[in-house]
Structure 1
Amino acid sequence: MSEQHDAAERRRAPNPFDTRGFNPRRAIVTGSDSGIGRATAVALAAAGMDVGITWHRDEQGAEKTAEEVRSYGRRAVVVHLDTSDLDACGDIVDALIDELGGIDVFVNNAGTGANEKLVRMSLERWRHIVATDLDGPFVVIQRAACRMIEQATGGRIIATTSVHEHQPRVGSSAYDAAKHGLGGLVKTAALELGEYAITVNAVAPGEIATPMTGQEDEDPHRKHRPGVPLGRPGDAREVAALIGFLASPASSYITGVSIIIDGGMLQMGPQGGSHITSDVWREG
């Protein structure tokens, strides 16, 4: 790994610091067997990219994502990836990059969480969540960054964090800590990778209708959320559209930011959103 990194350090994009000529053709989206990951993989395929698809528990879901990617005439490669397996996840990403023939866009989307109070959470549970949501993302983002540097053609790295990167929630201590850490990693990576014409950003979703919130089969436009100014959960495709923009040449001067996409939920306070069950607040 150190030899690979040292070799990568000696390379630069043809025009250092210039992110405008970026032409993405190959992308990896972790956790793309459902929800935001699936919607993102499909959006990137629609934008003309071959896509590496990873799954943890739902192989059938990953194959469904692959079918959608191929419907756009793009190549799809499906692999199993567990970001809590720190010894293996980096090598899996390297192999996937080799299979795709390179990497232009890397979307770290895989993650997990728990609704459990701090004083009741076991250390084992804490370590699993932090490994999945922070340690593993460090490993795979590092691998993707090294390969982008080797290619010397620039790149885009995007991490799906959460509104809880910015505001905590009761019962989410490990998740909140990991997402805060991932947000910090994104900012530091943006500082360090800019000279290689690689941008690094985070997308911070609020409540989105996905398996993680138990809503994937529901139409978010029909689900009322009094505690969200826009009155509903988000659609995974709305998050994917934002990620697609950050993965595109049009985002050439955006790096080191975390863009909140939550229907205005954070404006209601950290315990707002789904905790508010009435529209009375709208009356002032």
Structure 2
Amino acid sequence: MTATPAPTASQRGFEPQRIIVTGADSGIGRATAVALAGSGRQVAVTWHQDQDGAEGTAEEIRATGATAHVRQLDLSDPAQGTHVVDELTETMGGVDTLVMSSGTGSATRLLDLECEKWREVLSVDLDGAFCCLQAASRHMVEAGTGGRIVAITSVHEHAPRVGAGPYCAAKGGLGLLVKVAALELAEYGITVNAVAPGEIATPMTGQEDESVLQNKDRPGIPVARPGDAREIAATVAFLCGPDAGYVNGASWAVDGGMLTMGPMAGSHLSSHDWRRV
């Protein structure tokens, strides 16, 4: 498609007003949707299986003075990403901010992995993200007023993990998709970035949405605890805000220093437990 590039000023003064956050029924998506809400804004959230969770997110959004929209989205059929983004854009009268937080994973070594599971994870984490990104960016380009797109990837965008082959492949691919989109969309005043969380206390990691600033010891993480979903949301909110107009194509690791451990977490291990899922 062809369109007139947006003026660069649209990045400097940008404020998110019509926002879509996928996978916002719990965890990082929920915290992000609430962090981006505010008086006069519209925030659309999607859910896959937990409608009650999504409605709870919507209640928190409305408490800020924002309008909430709730839709079901199953990205195991990636084309649903296109349809839902298009429908929400029509409902809100446009879209200027997209945060892609939907995701799934696996805990199976490659030799035992079924192809169906491989395809499921890739469909949700990569194919579905592409469909959402493409649909939203088309609307942003057509509107000509710039925008913000943030993908929630993972530290496993950058580092492998035993038992997480499809997840690592999808998140690594999504990280490079973000960089390509950042190059192609910058002329329209649209920035595209990734946030790569480490271990965050959410249902996806078998924990609850709760404060984790104390009483959870993690010796392998420099700050010695898991992260809180609201800490990820704060980083996303910055990237979606007026002060991040010059941040583009970046991947922000929010992991308590996990990735910086590098060989410290390898040569000093005293057992082969890391080989197991």
TM-score class, shorter-chain normalisation, is over 0.9
1:166 aligns with 2:158: yes
SS in 1 for 2:246: coil
Rounded Cα–Cα distance in structure 2 between residues aligned with 1:276 and 1:163: 20
Matched, 1:93 2:85: yes
After superposition, the Cα gap between the structure-2 partners of 1:75 and 1:268, relative to the gap in structure 1 and judged at 3 Å, is same
Does the residue aligned with 1:202 lie in a helix, a strand or coil?
strand
User: What is the identity, as a one-letter code, of the residue corresponding to 1:119?
Assistant: L
SS of equivalent residue, structure 1 residue 259: strand
Q: Whole-Å Cα distance in 1 between the matches of residues 216 and 252 of structure 2? A: 24
- Residue type at the aligned position of 1:235: D
The one-letter code of the counterpart of 2:156 is H
| Residue 110 of structure 2 corresponds to residue 118 of structure 1 | yes
1:59 counterpart (51, 59, 78): 51
1:85 Cα deviation after fit: 0.8
Trace 1:1-284 onto structure 2 (pairs within 5 A).
Answer: 6=1, 9-13=2-6, 15-16=7-8, 19-46=11-38, 49-221=41-213, 222-269=215-262, 272=265
CA distance, structure 2, for counterparts of residue 51 and residue 179 of structure 1: 25
Q: Retained in 2: the 8 A contact 1:169–1:271?
A: no
State the Cα distance separating 1:100 from its structure 2 match.
Answer: 1.3
| Distance in 2, Cα, partners of 1:47 & 1:227 | 41
Preserved CA contact (<8 Å) 2:40 2:67: no
Secondary structure of 1:256's counterpart equals: coil
Cα distance in 2 between the residues matched to 1:31 and 1:270: 34
Identify unmatched segments of 5+ residues in structure 2: 271-277
* C-alpha distance in 2 between matches for 1:99 and 1:52: 10
Mapped partners of 2:80, 2:264: distance in 1: 37
For structure 1, which runs of at least 5 residues remain unmatched after alignment? 1-5, 278-284
**1:176-199, CA deviations, whole angstroms, 9 ceiling, x for partnerless residues?**
000000000000000000000000
Following superposition, the deviation at residue 33 of structure 1 comes to 0.2
- 2:274 maps to none
Aligned to 1:282: none
Q: Which digits, 9 at most, give the CA deviation of each residue in 1:250-280, with x for residues without a partner?
A: 101000000000000112238949x979xxx
How far apart, CA to CA, are the structure 2 residues paired with 1:115 and 1:68?
A: 33
Task: Determine helix, strand or coil for the equivalent of 2:79.
Answer: coil
Displacement of 1:219 in angstroms is 3.3
Per-residue Cα deviation, 1:216-251 (whole angstroms, up to 9, x for no partner): 155312211011100100000000000000000110
% identity of equivalent residues = 56
Q: Helix, strand or coil for the counterpart of 1:269?
A: helix
Q: Which amino acid in 2 is paired with 1:223? A: K
- Give the number of equivalent residue pairs: 269
- Alignment partners' CA distance in 2, 1:50 and 1:266: 35
Contact 1:54 1:80 in 2 (8 A): yes
For residues 201-228 of structure 1, give each alpha carbon's deviation from its aligned partner in whole angstroms, at most 9, with x where no partner exists: 0000000000001111553122110111
Can you list the C-alpha shifts for 1:149-192, whole angstroms capped at 9, x where unaligned? 01100000000000000000111000000000000000000000
Does the CA-based 8 Å contact 1:154-1:198 persist in structure 2?
yes
Distance in 1 (alpha carbons) for counterparts of 2:254 and 2:221: 12
Pair 1:30–1:131, CA change in 2 (3 A): same
Read off the aligned partner of 2:91 and give its amino acid letter.
E
Q: 1:162 to 1:181 in 2, by over 3 A?
A: same
Counterpart-to-counterpart distance in 2, 1:136 and 1:271: 35
Mapped contact 1:12–1:152 kept (Cα < 8 A): yes
Tell me which amino acid in the other structure corresponds to 1:260.
Answer: A
CA pair 70-18 structure 1, distance change in 2 beyond 3 A: closer
